Structure 1
Amino acid sequence: MRRILILLLFIASQYVHAQQVITGIVVDASDNKPLVNASVVVLNTDSIMQQFARVGEDGKFQIKKVARGKHLLLVTYPKFEIFSKEFEVVSSDIKLDSIKINSQSNLLEEIIVTQKIPIKMKGDTIEYDASSFATEKNAKLEDLLRRLPGLTVSNSGEVTAHGKTVSKVLIDGEEFFGYDPKIAIRNVRADAVDKVQVYERKSEQAELTGIDDGVRLQTVNVVLKEEARKGIFGNANASVGTKELFDANLFAAKFNQSERIGLTGSWNNMGNQGDASMIRMNNQIIGKPEHQSAGINYENNFLKKKLHMTSSYGISNNGNANESESYNKQVLGENKTQETSRKSQSENNNLNNNLRAQFRMKIDSVSNMNVQLGGSKGRSESSSLSSSETFRNEGLRANEFNGNNSTETDNGSLNVRMDYRRRLNQKGRSMNLHLSNDYNNSESTNLVDETTKLYDRLGNDSTTIHVNQTRLNETKSNGFGAALNFSEPISERIFLTLGYSFNTSKRTGLVDAYNNTDNTQGLDMRYSKNEEDKNNNNSADVNLSYRADKFNINLSNRTTYRQQQLSDSYRDIDLERSFWQNNFNTNISYKISNSKNLTFGFQNNTNVPSFQQLQPLQPPTNELYEQIGNPDLKREINNNFNLSYNRFSLLKGSSFNVNGSISLMDNAIVNKSVVDDKGKTTATFVNINDKLNWNARLNANYGKPIFNGVMQFGPYSMISYSSNYLYINGDLNQNITTNANVGINGNKQSSKGVDFNFNLGIGLANEQNSVQSRLNNTSLRSSANADLKYYLPFKFSLTQVLSYSFTGKNKIFPEPIHQFYMNLELTRKLLSSESLLLSVKAFDVFNSFNNTQRSFSESNFSETRQQMLTQYFMVGLKWDFNKNLGKKND
């Protein structure tokens, strides 16, 4: 932390001094009249904005705090030519001559002075010019995104844009390796990117059907340079380390205009997210993992560009062996507690094959069709050995449990979706037909050997229950859906969509439990079931939208009649229910100005109880827990309000975002559980009829370049409040939770001297319960994370990662948790092209990471420790290759 503070003070001292003032006057060349409010911008040599000003009524302008060095002055005024002039600040203020610019109407020749603007607003889209943000040689898209104002990239690869999590990263408007968007940001070259666009779009379902569901997805679209759409690029890396660790990764892609082929492969014993090159990640290795994966992505146009196809196939094999210990304490009432200590060993292996394809076809000038195919096939094996003992009131033995289970599962799925859209005669009138089918199948064999001892009230005499069974499970589901919608323009600004949709599904669940003991061989009906679930939905849809220059209003409503049938021939269950559901969505956006937007959203929906919640009798999972359904459950009603304000300054490169939400739940469905003296839990589902569960959340963040754009800096804050009614051991409890967090983050990414990212945060959590008020608690938590990259002579660089977190004590755990680790990486670029990178990495240098995880809620407090490798060292090579991609021909 001291390193970060010293670094910030050093940077500040460099820029507080040696700053000068630039003055001048801007006039119309034809009559020497002042051009009031003309924009005057100072750019550095990388075309990144440093300072700006507006011309006053007298035509004069003044720009303060201009650092020493070479700069570019850019003057713009509507319908006038663009003026640019290079200048250099040495040691004194600069007074420029009168700047005279011509009106475009007076120009006899085409203006040839051009200048790229780093950031533009195009409607609701913010567009960044990639060439205005310098990156290292052979840098990736992830490095470029870190440099863009308003965007952040976490150590694990999640992208945030203007305070909202990015759910899609597109390459030229298309998904690239759709099953993992991180592949794109970590492998596409930064020097191949022309533009980066950030915008919100509707959900895929809403775009296909034309019925707005209120969902908005923050999206990043990367536009490649024209010359980058043809070439071969990729990278390969391999690392070996202590503790017999290894990691190997390959990515290769070939672009040829519309045709794109990509290959990925990885193999490591560090876990699914191994990639030892990601030094910024928290690389504690849990258990003994092994990961293998391979994938291929293909994209192309056919039939004279009328048919576009995107497809991907991936295969992965993940395994792990782990050991863990946990302690749990439940406060069930006055002078009534239950403490459970558990140990477990587990092994698992999962093999999965996934195939996805999308076909977009332009049938003719008025109709097009979109077809999506998806399928998966997998097999998993798992085994576990566990033991636990439970005491009540901190001394009386309640139960003991020992289990030895193993499961083998084969599963598969297939889904098909088709959307046909046709424009009808009148302008703006269209028809949309949607068809879909989803099929899933799973078969498993579960070997169960469990022994449970239940003790009496005094903790002495016990009853032993031994279950030794082979359970054969088979689950099948098949669903079909269809929708037909018609869109009609009522006026130039008002559009109406009406539709009807139908969905039907059938699910069968068979469990045959056979006792393996000699004297009780045969089917055990207590643990068996033969379910058949059916449901039919008929829905009427209406969508009304109003589009204006500043206002966009969208209203949609779906009314559904749902029929459910549930039967179980093993348990003589025949249940039939019907519900009316209504989902109403409102989305209003107001464009205050080109840089300010206000958005309001409201969603009202009803959730009907699931079959598992309705079924009166269910097979127990073990002798210590029994779930009972409630066939009298009613639907719950949700109301959600969202409000967001976003401001983005193109000239300053700053952003300010406020997002607030309130959620109200009426008639909430909750799980009501009761724990008896032997530690057995019996649970059922009930509605909270006369109480309202609700929560509210408000977060804000601000980002601004400082020190003449060298550093991005931004504070952030969040506060949330929730009031929920639930049950603690059969008693209705009101749980009130308040969380508040504040922090600051910053980054410098200039590939010179020292680059860094840092994040400092502190938070308070307060929890209150009406039933167990003595457990009301306020806890403190804080975190500090930083990574610094030092650029050293002779193509060396050193990366230092520091992470610290603090979790405060509570009423059950009197000791706080401190977690700290430091990672180091020393690299050397080899070859004249710097395409080969040699690295030495050290993870958790001081072996200081605390392997304790803590959680608590209401009356339940837990601590867990598991097998984990923290300190290790690795040596690796990484090769970046690139043929033609992003390189212009002579």
Structure 2
Amino acid sequence: MKNFWLILAVVTLWTHDTWSQARQQGQVKGILTDKSTRQPLADASVALLYARDSSMAASAFTDKKGAFLLEDLPSGTYKLYITFLGYQPRLQTVEIIPGHVTANLDSIPLEKTGVTLGEVEITEIKPPIRVKKDTLEFNAGSFKTRQNAVVEELLKKLPGVEVASDGTIKAQGETVKKILVDGKPFFGDDPKLATKNLPAEIVDKIQLIDKKSDQAQFTGINDGQTEKAINITIKKDRKKGYFGRVSAGYGSDDRFATSASLNRFREGQQLSFLGSGNNVNNQGYTDLNALSFGGGSGMRRGGFRGGMSSIGGNGITRNWTGGVNYSEDFSKKLKVSGSYFFNDSRTENLRNSSRQNLLPDTTYYYNQHAQSLNTNTNHNMNMRVEYEIDSMHSLIVSPSFNYSTGKNVQDNRYESLGGKQQLVNSGTTRNISDNTAPSFFTDALFRKKFHKEGRTFSANLNIGYNNSDQENFNKSGNLFIQPNGEDYTDSIDQRNDITSRGFNMGVRLTYTEPVFKDRFLEFTYAWNRSYTASDKLTYDYNAAKEAYDRLNDSLSNSFENTFSTQQAGVSIRTQKKGYDYSAGLNIQFSDLDNNNISLDNRLRQHTVNFFPSASFNYAFSNSRRLRFFYRGGTQQPSVSQLQPVPDNSNPLYVQLGNPDLKPAFNNNFSLGYNAFDHAGMRGFFANVSASFTSNKIINANYFDSLGRQVSQPVNVSGAYNINSNLVNTFPLKREHTSINSATNLNYNRDVSYTNGIKGNTNNFSVTQHFSFNYVYQELFDFATTAGVNYNGARYSIQQNNNTNYFNYSFSFDMNVNLPLGFIIGVDLDYTLNTGLAEGYNQDVAMLNAFVSKSVFRNQQGLIKLQGFDLLNQNVSINRNVGENYIEDIQSRVLQRFCLISFSYFLNRFGNSDKGGIKTGRPGSAVPARAVRARGQAL
């Protein structure tokens, strides 16, 4: 532990020192004017080039006063290149002398067009990165990718962006929840459908956005409700035609994979078709050329997970998918987008688990072997209609529909051991479940502006409906060893018919009123009502009639629940040029009405919550920002938690409902700091969040002498979670390298009840990752990542079960371009586990490799031979840590196989002006590589 804290301290100091050094550098500033009128020139393009090779050092646009400022520059000699429509470009040498922080150029006059500059015309200057108020923009042409690469590969090369093995994207330490294409949704809110299907070649820019709510975008007043999103802008010349691909592959053990996509993008219109099928654990998003597999282990506590896991989930999965996405701007006033997506999957899995149940005076051990078969079919449709009624009124309507069916068959074999490893019980269970679940939701937002600037009104209406019909068969045979040594057996053979219905409706009204030049009052009122009903009928098997016709009253129940809230609040919001803040007070009235129809009793609860709201955003400069917010809210219990009948599908773990549950209340805080030096492409991003929950709903557990566990949800206070992320990126642009580090610290405190004794569990985890990328022209590239995850659990009841465990990981990925269109590649993932249960501390080395050959004209065809898990070591090991248990799980995963595939890439684009340069004699003042040419930019 001492070494661990020393390493963490060194990492933190190095991160701080790196950024500090980046900030202690020079700057160039000046003012552009018209040479004749001496009037300032706004929105002129200013580029600072390194004198040694004319590569980009920094760029900016002049403000309303014609002023510009280029910051964070090391000492040295530069060339300042200025362009403005209708004026002659200007090129001059600038030198930043050590010890002299600022190079002040004062007034720079520009002459009207009439003479070219050294026979070089620069049509467009595109720096690799631009920093805007709430957007970090990357020029895709500055980040090389392989031929026929998808957007996901491009994202992996961007500083401050992480892409996990399952396709989850993190930007600046935050999870990306939405991907937009030219500002429009692409297949709803699933980011992977865009990143794993769209080719990188069509991308013009990647924009990392702190996306504001529709309400804030309309009023211009920041309401603090933001989410991390990515907007992909498409090159103009790729909006005049269509593109796509078709791939098919077959391999050993009858493994197959096929996929197809077709896209047509035009100005204001997008149309995409996707389809795929495979039995290689691919979720159906990925082209065969991006197909890869991982293995290793993970640590889980609540929603936290570190380490690696098998791509596509555990088990062996066969998957079919298909979908269509369409969006069009019919006019400036009407924009429509929608999508339909279909998925059909079948998963076979084997699962072994070893669990310690921590009781106040002893420990029970539970070992299980499970075999399952899951089949699921899902249809999802969503739509978004934006209608600008006039300049003062607008309407947004977003309906969605989902229909899913599924069947699950699971067989378990188990045993429980006492504190002295003696047998307490054993048995087998078989559960079969069929379910159907349609749901519908729509959201409508009406917004109105008044003639007085800042005075707005909006009304948000949402309506949702869901229904679930489920038929379960529950069979088990159990052996129990009593304390006196005698044993007895029992069995269960039942059918459960469960029907649940839900309907919710909500309205939110918002009114803003300007009180001063840059201050606004905001008044809100929100009403929400949700109704849920559940009927559970349990029938025992009648052997005489060979039918389930005996109603079990003790396990049957009809239940209704209504939860309604009214919330009113007032806040004052201030918006300045460099900062904005808000402070307000809210009151919420909650009413819970539980109606147990079967037992003819009713419970009503009324609660009142007061909570403030606050947000603060401050821009130290265009590249450094600080933000803070606080938000409170309620979380109502689910129907299954409220319904007072046992769920005995697992005879050793019987779950009860609790109709007396109160809604939980969460207080959430967040503090973030972002700093990005676009000249040196250095980035530093830090986020700290905390959540404190009162009346949190947890499971109180009781264990009897036969090893059976009864669980019932109860309300407790004293639970909280604190999480922090630290991301530092340090690209070395000239060497085409990128060095990144990511640190995550999490502290979680939970409250537990075990056999009536209250306790708490404190869990602390640290994850540290370093990555290094290198690209050499178009010949080869490689990336390597090393990480360590530490997890420590401390129990107040059984302190002798306090545990520490580590997980180490290393990965290496390399691709080499060879003559005649050949490419070879290899990736290695190595994971080392320590501190787990016996038999689970396995070291895993996952080795994948491929060789491909481009064929046909313009490399439109690709033949590829891939080998996965060549060392045949792939495993999936996870550790779950709960309030009163520690559990290690090993699941079945896909192991070694080979696949040979063929892909055909379709690209049909109309002729368009691609921009570029016109060059004169050699030795021109600005070399061609310093300007935009055929999609490559500064």
The answer, yes or no, to whether TM exceeds 0.5 is yes
Distance 1:723 1:413 in 2: 35
1:203-214 mapped onto 2 (5 Å cutoff): 203=213, 214=224
Distance 2:670 2:380 in 1: 36
Residue 424 of structure 2: aligned partner: 398
Aligned counterpart in structure 2 of residue 546 of structure 1, from 563, 567, 574: 574
Is 1:598 aligned to 2:598, yes or no? no
Is 1:174 aligned to 2:184, yes or no? yes
Distance 1:44 1:792 in 2: 31
Residue 708 of structure 1: aligned partner: 734
Distance 1:850 1:193 in 2: 36
Residue 69 of structure 1: aligned partner: none
Alpha-carbon shift at residue 852 of structure 1 (Å): 4.0
Alpha-carbon shift at residue 249 of structure 1 (Å): 0.5
Residue 201 of structure 1: aligned partner: 211
Is 1:129 aligned to 2:139, yes or no? yes
CA contact (8 A) 1:668 1:688 kept: yes
Count of residues paired in the alignment: 831
Distance 2:571 2:470 in 1: 44
Residue 479 of structure 1: aligned partner: 504
Residue 350 of structure 2: aligned partner: 323
Gaps of 5+ in 2: 1-27, 36-45, 61-67, 94-102, 295-309, 916-938
Alpha-carbon shift at residue 39 of structure 1 (Å): 8.3
Aligned counterpart in structure 2 of residue 644 of structure 1, from 672, 689, 697: 672
Is 1:754 aligned to 2:766, yes or no? no
Distance 1:886 1:861 in 2: 63
Letter in 1 for 2:111: L
CA contact (8 A) 2:840 2:877 kept: no
User: Which has the larger displacement, 207-216 or 831-840?
Assistant: 207-216
CA contact (8 A) 1:566 1:611 kept: no
What SS class does the counterpart of residue 817 from structure 1 fall into? Answer: coil
Deviations along 1:766-811, one digit per CA (max 9) or x if unpaired, are 222222111122222211112111122222111111111112125x
Distance 1:632 1:100 in 2: 71
What's the TM-score once normalised by structure 2's chain length? 0.81
Alpha-carbon distance change, 697 to 499 in structure 1, aligned in 2, over 3 angstroms: closer
User: Which has the larger displacement, 710-719 or 579-588?
Assistant: 579-588
RMSD of aligned alpha carbons: 3.6
Residue 290 of structure 2: aligned partner: 278
Aligned counterpart in structure 2 of residue 357 of structure 1, from 383, 392, 396: 383
Letter in 1 for 2:151: L
1:36-51 mapped onto 2 (5 Å cutoff): 40-42=48-50, 47=55, 49=57
Letter in 1 for 2:511: F
Letter in 1 for 2:289: S
Alpha-carbon distance change, 633 to 435 in structure 1, aligned in 2, over 3 angstroms: closer
Distance 2:447 2:558 in 1: 42
Deviations along 1:860-879, one digit per CA (max 9) or x if unpaired, are 23333333331111101122
Residue 107 of structure 1: aligned partner: 111
Letter in 1 for 2:353: S
Distance 1:732 1:652 in 2: 54
Letter in 1 for 2:538: A
Residue 126 of structure 2: aligned partner: 116
Distance 1:546 1:814 in 2: 59
User: Which has the larger displacement, 202-211 or 748-757?
Assistant: 202-211
Residue 921 of structure 2: aligned partner: none
Alpha-carbon distance change, 823 to 887 in structure 1, aligned in 2, over 3 angstroms: farther
Distance 1:414 1:227 in 2: 39
Aligned counterpart in structure 2 of residue 822 of structure 1, from 847, 850, 853: 847
Distance 1:176 1:51 in 2: 31
Distance 1:204 1:380 in 2: 35
CA contact (8 A) 1:328 1:341 kept: yes
What SS class does the counterpart of residue 145 from structure 1 fall into? Answer: helix
CA contact (8 A) 1:664 1:695 kept: yes
Alpha-carbon distance change, 792 to 505 in structure 1, aligned in 2, over 3 angstroms: same
Residue 693 of structure 1: aligned partner: 719
Distance 1:46 1:140 in 2: 30
Alpha-carbon shift at residue 74 of structure 1 (Å): 4.1
Is 1:576 aligned to 2:574, yes or no? no
Letter in 2 for 1:795: G
1:204-603 mapped onto 2 (5 Å cutoff): 214-273=224-283, 275=286, 276-282=288-294, 286-302=314-330, 304-334=331-361, 336-464=362-490, 466-518=491-543, 521-603=549-631
CA contact (8 A) 2:557 2:645 kept: no
Alpha-carbon distance change, 50 to 123 in structure 1, aligned in 2, over 3 angstroms: closer
Alpha-carbon distance change, 470 to 51 in structure 1, aligned in 2, over 3 angstroms: closer
CA contact (8 A) 1:693 1:725 kept: yes
Aligned counterpart in structure 1 of residue 753 of structure 2, from 700, 708, 727: 727
Letter in 2 for 1:291: N
Deviations along 1:191-242, one digit per CA (max 9) or x if unpaired, are 3323222220235687689997744211211222222222101111111110
Distance 1:102 1:122 in 2: 25
Alpha-carbon shift at residue 121 of structure 1 (Å): 2.2
Distance 1:153 1:834 in 2: 27
CA contact (8 A) 1:212 1:543 kept: no
Alpha-carbon shift at residue 655 of structure 1 (Å): 0.5
Alpha-carbon shift at residue 764 of structure 1 (Å): 2.6
Q: Percent identity?
A: 24
CA contact (8 A) 1:46 1:132 kept: no
Letter in 2 for 1:327: S
Letter in 1 for 2:682: S
Aligned counterpart in structure 2 of residue 873 of structure 1, from 894, 898, 904: 898
Residue 159 of structure 1: aligned partner: 169
Distance 1:210 1:40 in 2: 33
Distance 1:150 1:889 in 2: 30
Alpha-carbon distance change, 307 to 556 in structure 1, aligned in 2, over 3 angstroms: farther
Letter in 1 for 2:334: L
Residue 34 of structure 1: aligned partner: none
CA contact (8 A) 2:479 2:487 kept: no
Residue 18 of structure 2: aligned partner: none
Residue 805 of structure 2: aligned partner: 779
Alpha-carbon distance change, 210 to 355 in structure 1, aligned in 2, over 3 angstroms: farther
1:828-843 mapped onto 2 (5 Å cutoff): 828-843=853-868
CA contact (8 A) 1:781 1:807 kept: yes
Aligned counterpart in structure 2 of residue 138 of structure 1, from 148, 151, 159: 148
Distance 1:132 1:663 in 2: 40
Deviations along 1:468-501, one digit per CA (max 9) or x if unpaired, are 2222221111112223222222222112222322
CA contact (8 A) 1:209 1:434 kept: no
User: Which has the larger displacement, 108-117 or 466-475?
Assistant: 108-117
Alpha-carbon distance change, 569 to 210 in structure 1, aligned in 2, over 3 angstroms: farther
CA contact (8 A) 2:165 2:311 kept: no
Alpha-carbon distance change, 530 to 100 in structure 1, aligned in 2, over 3 angstroms: closer
Residue 626 of structure 1: aligned partner: 654
User: Which has the larger displacement, 570-579 or 607-616?
Assistant: 607-616
Gaps of 5+ in 1: 1-24, 32-37, 65-71, 87-98
CA contact (8 A) 1:307 1:361 kept: yes
Residue 704 of structure 2: aligned partner: 676
Alpha-carbon shift at residue 157 of structure 1 (Å): 2.6
